[in-house]
Amino acid sequence: MRIALLYDDSAGGRPAHELADALRDAGHDPHVLSPRAAGPAEALLRRRGFAGALTPVPSAVVTLLRGGFDVAHAFSTSGALAALTSRRLRGGPAVFTCAEPLGRDRLADRRLTLWMLRRAVEDTDALVAASEESRAELARWLALDVPVIEPHDAGGYERLYRELLTRRA
Q: Note the maximum CA span of the chain.
A: 45
For the ranges 41-45, 94-98, 114-118, 133-137, which has the lowest average pLDDT? Answer: 41-45
Q: Considering only CA atoms, which of 117, 112, 119, 34 is closest in space to residue 85?
A: 119
pTM above 0.95, yes or no: no
pLDDT of residue 46: 81
Range of the domain at 145: 2-168
How many angstroms separate the CA atoms of 167 and 103, rounded? 33
Residue 162: pLDDT band with limits 50, 70, 90: very high
Residue 19 clears pLDDT 90, i.e. is over it: yes
CATH number at 41 reads 3.40.50.2000
Q: What's the mean pLDDT when you consider all of the chain? A: 88
